[in-house]
Structure 1
Amino acid sequence: MSGVNRRILVTGGAGFIGSHLCERLVRSGEDVLCVDNYFTGTRANIAALIGDPRFEAMRHDVTFPLYVEVDRIFNMACPASPVHYQHDPVQTTKTSVHGAINMLGLAKRTRARILQASTSEVYGDPREHPQAEPYWGHVNPIGPRACYDEGKRCAETLFFDYHRQHRLEIKVARIFNTYGPRMHPNDGRVVSNFVVQALRGDPITVYGDGTQTRSFCYVDDLVDGLLKLMDSPGDETGPVNLGNPVEFTMLQLAELVLTLTGSSSRIVKAPLPADDPKQRRPDITRATKLLDWKPTTPLEEGLKPTIAYFRLALGLGPARSIHAPRAAAGTP
């Protein structure tokens, strides 16, 4: 994505992934409007951009209409961890559904191309492995995770209906587990949980027997994929899986975190949460063919700057390696 004086709206732009996306867009020469209600996002995530003439931040909740002039929209707004999206499940559903309606309405008025940050959670506890985009999923519509899972599924429905009915240029990315600097220390996701517990010397909590799997994509790789999807030909709507197909068990992740942190924490077991998927791995064939994209950061290498970030965030002093976002020359 190259700067041509486009005005790019990023909802949820002060969040974990959104803030990295805003940085990449600004550094590639785009004018960026970051919109966030700061429920899970923080001003600290975008502090380095404040004062840049190409960047503007606005406090706003996407469940209410927004009247701005933009050329492209990245709809990233929604709590994405169980701790946060289950805190107020009704509001989570509103953010996904009402937020999608409001952003699609804005895109319709301005004729902006719009990308929806969907999620691997649309596949639920999958009965197909790995998960490819044609798979419809296995989701409990009345369970404790449904506010997020079904909210995102409904948002996808709205995007495709606006595309068919109003000929909007849409892009739908299904994001799999992403990690990196600026994750919230208390978001309840497995990478942040394990790293924070290890750094504090607390027991590392592994749910179930630890054999359930996840695939972890470093945030820089994920942002590469989002930018490439937004720039793909207009008739390519997606959905497109974006994630790392290399699969790890929870026990493997816990042991790797212990090694990299040098922690003496012990691993303890706890009951598996309701509707927690037992396997999660993306089939990225479509992303590879359509976008010429695949993640390049091994888990061990991505965990190093992530751990360094959490050392500082927890007030444990500087670490050997601190994440530095890639220069604009590396932006697709």
Structure 2
Amino acid sequence: MQEHKRKRILITGAAGFLGSHLCDRFIEEGFHVIGMDNLVTGDIKNIEHLFHLAQFEFYHHDVSKFVHVPGELHYILHFASPASPIDYLKIPIQTLKVGSLGTHNLLGLAKSKQARILVASTSEVYGDPLVSPQNEEYWGNVNPVGPRGVYDEAKRFQEAMTMAYHNFHGLETRIARIFNTFGPRMRLHDGRALPNFISQALQGKDLTVFGDGSQTRSFIYVSDQVEGIFKLLFSDYPLPVNIGNPEEMTLLAVAQEIIKLTQSQSSIRFEKLPVDDPKQRRPDIDKAIRLLNWKPQVSRKNGLENTINYYRNLFQEQ
């Protein structure tokens, strides 16, 4: 912890689900944390518990516009972006801009400050994959002009721009390919499978499963994701690394498990599969195990119970 004292880190998307947990972690590790968010999809409540701390400051700013941070800066975590289909279908152009202009601005800032930057990429760069599990050498199967293309291609461009700065300018860069992450602070109406299922189950509503529910996902609890990102930032590996849980489940099985854990009387309702919805998601994490000495520790059941309790409390507060 001593070596991190007075180190300054900028975390974009700080009021979001993952960003806020990263703020907590770096505060705990002794960093001075500068949070930045335009609050389009983030929630200030996620970080208001940090506002009284001298080692935390917050900038209400859109990183798609010029980014200035006075003073020294040692690290940057670029986590600003809509991350749910419900968001990036609603604000497609902003999604493209934060992945392109925002990434360019932050890489430029990192270069001027001689800071190391880690960018949050996604398993969505693999699109609807033709191989399983997906390893980092797989180039993906993405529809660039489909409804999900605004997010998928923004993240693919982000990776390309990051590697260009690494190769051309010698910038210290890291790329985390993040798989489905869940836990407290995910929004109730986030639009992704787990928040939807839990929210519906707790309200006694039918759980909405798209298609026949045979499509698979691999869910990782937020504390495991944060640990993987932390270790990746302080590794010396510049190429993309999958951070996820290789335990694969069908969405139908996940919905059934949540009904059981919430002791809900809900049924399951099937709806039409959205366009380009991936049929499989399962990370190959051999690289993370080998390079970072990291793998998930929290069981899905424990993670789901923590998340369900968080949502229960949210409903009680409303």
Could you tell me the TM-score, scaled by structure 1's length? 0.93
CA distance in 1, matches of 2:316, 2:151: 32
- When the two structures are aligned, how many residues end up with a matched partner? 315
- What SS is found at the alignment partner of 2:153? helix
For 1:249, give the aligned amino acid: T
Offset from partner CA, 1:27-72 (integer Å, 9 cap, x none)? 1110000000011111110021110111111100000111114110
CA distance in 2, matches of 1:12, 1:82: 17
Aligned residue in 2 for 1:292: 293
Deviation at 1:315, TM superposition (A): 2.4
The alignment's C-alpha RMSD in Å is 1.0
1:1-332 alignment, distance < 5 Å? 3-68=4-69, 69=71, 70-233=73-236, 236-315=237-316
Deviation at 1:176, TM superposition (A): 0.2
* Deviating more after overlay: 286-295 vs 48-57: 48-57
Quote the sequence identity (%): 51
Deviation at 1:298, TM superposition (A): 1.1
Deviation at 1:316, TM superposition (A): 6.5
Deviation at 1:76, TM superposition (A): 0.3
Deviation at 1:129, TM superposition (A): 0.5
Aligned residue in 2 for 1:328: none
Deviation at 1:187, TM superposition (A): 1.1
- What SS is found at the alignment partner of 1:173? strand
Q: Runs of 5+ in structure 2 lacking a partner?
A: none
CA distance in 2, matches of 1:210, 1:174: 24
- What SS is found at the alignment partner of 1:34? strand
Deviation at 1:314, TM superposition (A): 2.0
- What SS is found at the alignment partner of 1:278? coil
Q: Runs of 5+ in structure 1 lacking a partner?
A: 318-332
CA distance in 1, matches of 2:292, 2:212: 37
Deviation at 1:4, TM superposition (A): 2.8
CA distance in 2, matches of 1:282, 1:130: 5
Deviation at 1:147, TM superposition (A): 0.4
Could you tell me the TM-score, scaled by structure 2's length? 0.97
Offset from partner CA, 1:242-285 (integer Å, 9 cap, x none)? 00000011111011101111100000100100000000000000
For 1:294, give the aligned amino acid: K
Deviation at 1:118, TM superposition (A): 0.2
CA distance in 1, matches of 2:226, 2:209: 29
CA distance in 1, matches of 2:118, 2:94: 21
Aligned residue in 2 for 1:325: none
Offset from partner CA, 1:121-170 (integer Å, 9 cap, x none)? 00000001000000000000000000000000000000000111110000
Deviation at 1:238, TM superposition (A): 2.2
- What SS is found at the alignment partner of 2:4? coil
For 1:91, give the aligned amino acid: Q
CA distance in 1, matches of 2:56, 2:134: 37
Aligned structure 1 segments of 4 or more residues deviating by more than 6 angstroms: none
CA distance in 1, matches of 2:317, 2:226: 28
CA distance in 1, matches of 2:188, 2:89: 17
CA distance in 1, matches of 2:198, 2:82: 20
CA distance in 2, matches of 1:24, 1:245: 24
